[in-house]
Amino acid sequence: MTTSEPRVITVLLVEDDPGDVLMTREAFDEHLHNRLDVVTDGAEALAFLRRQPPYEDVARPDLVLLDLNLPRRDGREVLREVKDDPDLRHIPVIVLTTSQAEEDVLRSYQLHANAYVTKPVDFDGFIEAIKQIDHFFVSVVQLPGGRDPNRGT
């Protein structure tokens, strides 16, 4: 087995809590090699994913980290629209939220979330959860499209 540079993916964080955005950015800056884009509400997330103004030139993300409780359009609406859209449904969506409510877990999976992660409340636990999500989606699974920026494909 040969050792190579880690695969780099683009992650879209949909999060309105500035503290959680800051912790996620810190996890990416200090521990991960992937690109992180951030939007702060559901309507902005859908515009980003659909490359609508002002996001016409953004790279479509390889992975979405989605909070449920968002302004303008909540995470459940975003998840439903992403998974109903043939151009977007292949993008893995991880619900990353504070809710531990069974109805939120069930509804997220009914809407075809790829995973449901409850945010740890402490900083170290939060960083570790982000690192584990990253490890799984970068090192363990193959993402759709076979894109590998390190190979130029």
On the 0-12 / 13-18 / 19+ scale of CB atoms within 10 A, 5 is exposed
SS3 of 36-73: the string is EEEECCHHHHHHHHCCCCCCCCCCCCCEEEECCCCCCC
78-105: pLDDT as tens digits: 999 999 999 999 999 999 999 899 999 9
- Tell me the three state secondary structure of residue 117: strand
107-121: pLDDT as tens digits: 999 999 999 999 988
Of the given ranges (55-59, 85-89, 107-111, 147-151), which has the lowest mean pLDDT? 147-151
Residue 123, CA atoms < 13 Å, CB-side half-sphere = 6
- Tell me the three state secondary structure of residue 81: helix
Domain locations in the chain as residue ranges: 10-139
The structural architecture, per CATH, of the domain 10-139 is 3-Layer(aba) Sandwich (3.40)
Q: What is the pTM of this model?
A: 0.88
For the chain, the average pLDDT equals 87
